[in-house]
Amino acid sequence: MPTVDNLLALKELTPTTLPTKLNTFYILSGILYTIRELLTSPGQNVKNYISENRSRLVKPIIFIIITSLIYSLVNHFFHIEEGYVNYKEAKKSATVVIFKWIQDHYGYANIIMGLFIAFWTKIFFKKYGYNFFEILILLCFVMGMGMLILAVFSIIQGITHINLMQIGGILSLIYATWAIGQFFDKKKIANYFKALVSYILGMTTFFLLAITSGTIIDLIIKH
């Protein structure tokens, strides 16, 4: 027998709202499916996305932005990063402003960082023939999963008050190493080492550039 809630729900499904609701459902189910595939066999699934079927997984840019947003929401709710660094209380400088922007815009910051990681990955895995943008697609998926790993550990830390973010960071790095190495050739042990080095070099380059840019801007302003 129809209930009031059911009738109200049906009433909301108008020609105007139906496409939006279906699109939201499609994105949510697509993200859940993408997460499952990236947890089981990230390398092969991203290969398939690039070479065969781009409809099975969520688009990489959408994936990394949404997963970064999820981490940001969890972080703001539990105030996790405030226990490590508080940019509001730090001395104002261009470097502080840059890192505050990174903290407030993880989605865009991860895409920019991905450019640097892709650069080093391209150098270390040049013989495999993947172009820069194909590697960037891989990294959007990999870094998105890294954000989800950090989000999970942030939730656990927020509930238990046990410091777990370092473990989350290590696991996200291990996942990235495994996923990248598997993408190129999972049978070669050396690929996992090269994946780790290229990932660390990319992150280091990104943060060094941020610090250098902030320092240069501060010097210019002072003079």
Quick: pLDDT tens for 141-181. 999 999 999 999 999 999 999 999 999 999 999 999 999 99
Residues 50-89 pLDDT 10s = 998 888 899 999 999 999 999 999 998 988 876 555 555 4
Higher pLDDT, 31 or 26: 31
With contact defined as beta carbons under 8 Å apart, do 96 and 212 qualify? Answer: no
SS3 content of the chain, % helix, strand, coil (to 5): 80, 0, 20
Residues in the chain: 223
- Position 9 scores a pLDDT of 43
87 vs 111: CA distance, rounded Å? 22
150 vs 168: CA distance, rounded Å? 5
Confidence band, pLDDT 50/70/90 cuts, at residue 22: very low
Q: In this structure, what token pair is assigned to residue 76?
A: 């703001």
Question: Average pLDDT of 110-115?
Answer: 96
**pLDDT at residue 104 above 60?**
yes
Q: In this structure, what token pair is assigned to residue 164?
A: 């777990």
**pLDDT at residue 128 above 80?**
yes
Question: Average pLDDT of 107-131?
Answer: 96
- Position 54 scores a pLDDT of 83
Question: Average pLDDT of 179-191?
Answer: 95
Q: In this structure, what token pair is assigned to residue 117?
A: 């990681």
- Position 154 scores a pLDDT of 93
